[in-house]
């Protein structure tokens, strides 16, 4: 089940008037700050919760998260009302109610406001859109989340991964009526459960995935300044801003899925080495045994989750950091043409930005995983048998490597290959 959240920060100003105020509103709590400019923080979760109560839905809410709900489809429909153009009038009314009655009255009384014709115009400054996945068992949540992070962290070039360890383990099954939760003898200032945050920044946009509570996995996109989005940020554009955030989140999830579950497809890697045609230009094939081409493929995969695609300059910057500081824009243009010739990368419309083809992204990620996680470690271990007793605690992947290395040594002896 997915639950959608929209949280907006609305800013307003009137430059031709000498009176203005600022306040932050979260539920019923107000904090007055200095004059000039107004910012109103609206919590979409509270709106969805109130509407769900009026509709008679039964749910459990912990903070800004719905952890259980009897009718997920009905809750999703309520959340979708925040994405329509009909909500703009209500948002304007809420902002005006707080602004004119609780803030502006300290500068101008109602009569003076009416005489001067004072009126604010609102615009969206920040916004968040999230999707929550509810798991029946906490152990399954932990397995899925940690597995996705381990398999995609290197390919998507996540520099740091933050983990805050909690005091409890997530439940693996429903407790019976006679069972009690284990008591914590020492309670420290930590969350109830481990919290792992997987975060990627794209300028003023941030996409992150993290666990919340015992059964919730949240994927969230944040725009720190709505001016970044190419759709305007006035309040009438609110529905379009939310739609764009939704598209960015779905694009990130699609990239995450294709990098996590990789596959080479029907076409073999031998076809990549053959020359190709891009328009009227004949380009060479892709030789993944060359360090430069491997660096380009790794950089393209890392840039695949960019919300608006990537430019040739972005590719140059990444390849220079991992391969050669002398890598030029001319080389990047030619390498992109080679990737386009194999339908791994395509241009976005008539712009100078590029994006990965879904099947091509899967194939490139599969090749890197095959080389780095299968061929290199297996061959390295097959040539040097490990001596001594086996470790008592061995991870599943280490057990697979050990079994493959034993079979590889036997194969080398049979075919007469010196390791």
Domains of the chain, first to last? 2-172+192-259 (no CATH), 269-364 (1.10.10.10)
336 to 101, 235, 299, 359: CA distances (angstroms): 58, 39, 11, 16
pLDDT given at position 106: 53
In 3D space, the residue among 89, 97, 5 whose CA is nearest the CA of residue 49 turns out to be 5
Q: Which helix (H) or strand (E) holds 301?
A: helix 291-303
From the DSSP assignment, how many helices (H) and strands (E) are in the chain?
A: 12, 16
pLDDT given at position 81: 82
Helix axes 238-260 and 358-369, enclosed angle (nearest 10): 40
pLDDT given at position 407: 81
Rg of the chain over Cα atoms, rounded to whole angstroms, equals 27
pLDDT given at position 171: 62
246 to 129, 251, 413, 419: CA distances (angstroms): 7, 9, 56, 52
pLDDT given at position 123: 85
344 to 53, 200, 354: CA distances (angstroms): 48, 23, 11
Alpha-carbon distance 100 to 106, whole Å? 9
Phi and psi at residue 233, to the nearest 5°: -130, 15
The pLDDT tens digits along the chain (419 residues) read 444 444 444 444 433 333 333 333 333 233 333 334 677 888 888 888 888 888 888 888 877 778 788 888 888 888 888 777 778 888 888 877 777 666 665 556 667 666 666 667 788 888 888 888 888 787 788 778 777 877 787 788 776 655 555 545 566 554 555 555 443 333 333 456 666 778 888 888 888 888 877 778 888 899 988 888 888 888 888 888 888 999 999 998 888 888 887 766 665 667 888 888 888 889 988 988 889 999 999 999 989 988 888 999 999 999 998 888 999 999 999 999 999 999 999 999 888 999 999 988 988 888 888 888 777 777 776 666 666 676 777 777 777 777 887 787 787 778 776 65
pLDDT given at position 385: 62
Q: Is 82 exposed, middle or buried (0-12, 13-18, 19+ CB in 10 A)?
A: buried
Alpha-carbon distance 151 to 172, whole Å? 23
In 3D space, the residue among 61, 124, 35 whose CA is nearest the CA of residue 88 turns out to be 124
């Amino acid at each position: 089940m997915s639950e959608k959240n929209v949280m907006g920060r609305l800013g307003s100003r009137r430059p031709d008037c000498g009176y203005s105020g600022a306040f932050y509103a979260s539920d019923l709590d107000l904090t007055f700050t200095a004059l000039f400019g107004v910012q109103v923080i609206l919590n979409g979760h509270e709106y969805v919760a109130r509407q769900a109560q009026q509709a008679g839905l039964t749910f459990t809410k912990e903070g800004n998260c719905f952890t259980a709900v009897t009718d997920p489809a009905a809750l999703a429909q309520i959340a979708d009302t925040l994405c329509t153009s009909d909500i703009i009038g209500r948002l304007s009314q809420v902002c005006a109610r707080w602004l004119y009655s609780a803030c502006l009255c300290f500068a101008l009384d109602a009569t003076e406001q009416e005489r001067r014709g004072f009126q604010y115009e609102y615009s969206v400054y920040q916004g968040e859109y999230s999707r929550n996945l509810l798991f029946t068992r906490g152990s399954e949540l932990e397995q899925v989340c940690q597995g996705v992070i381990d398999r995609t962290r290197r390919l998507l070039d996540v520099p740091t991964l933050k983990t805050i360890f909690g005091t409890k383990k997530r439940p693996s099954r429903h407790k019976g009526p006679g069972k009690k939760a284990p008591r914590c003898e020492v309670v420290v200032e930590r969350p109830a459960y481990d919290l792992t945050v997987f975060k990627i920044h794209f300028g003023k946009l941030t996409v992150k995935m993290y666990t919340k509570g015992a059964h919730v996995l949240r994927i969230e996109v944040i725009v720190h300044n709505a001016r970044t989005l190419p759709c305007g940020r006035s309040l009438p554009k609110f529905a379009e801003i939310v739609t764009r955030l939704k598209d960015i989140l779905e694009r990130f999830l699609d990239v995450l899925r294709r990098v996590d579950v990789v596959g080479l497809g029907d076409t073999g890697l031998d076809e990549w080495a053959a020359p190709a045609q891009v328009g009227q230009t004949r380009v060479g094939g892709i030789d993944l045994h060359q360090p430069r081409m491997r660096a380009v493929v790794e950089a393209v995969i890392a840039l695949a989750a960019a919300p608006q695609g990537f430019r040739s300059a972005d590719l140059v910057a990444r390849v220079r950091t991992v391969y050669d500081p002398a890598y030029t824009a001319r080389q990047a243009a030619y390498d992109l043409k080679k990737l386009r010739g194999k339908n791994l990368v395509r241009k976005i419309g008539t712009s100078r930005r590029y994006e990965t083809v879904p099947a091509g992204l899967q194939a490139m990620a599969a090749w890197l995983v095959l080389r780095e996680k299968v061929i290199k470690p297996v061959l390295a271990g097959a040539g040097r048998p490990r001596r001594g007793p086996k470790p008592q605690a061995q991870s599943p992947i280490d057990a697979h490597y050990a079994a493959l290395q034993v079979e590889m040594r036997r194969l080398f002896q049979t075919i007469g290959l010196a390791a």
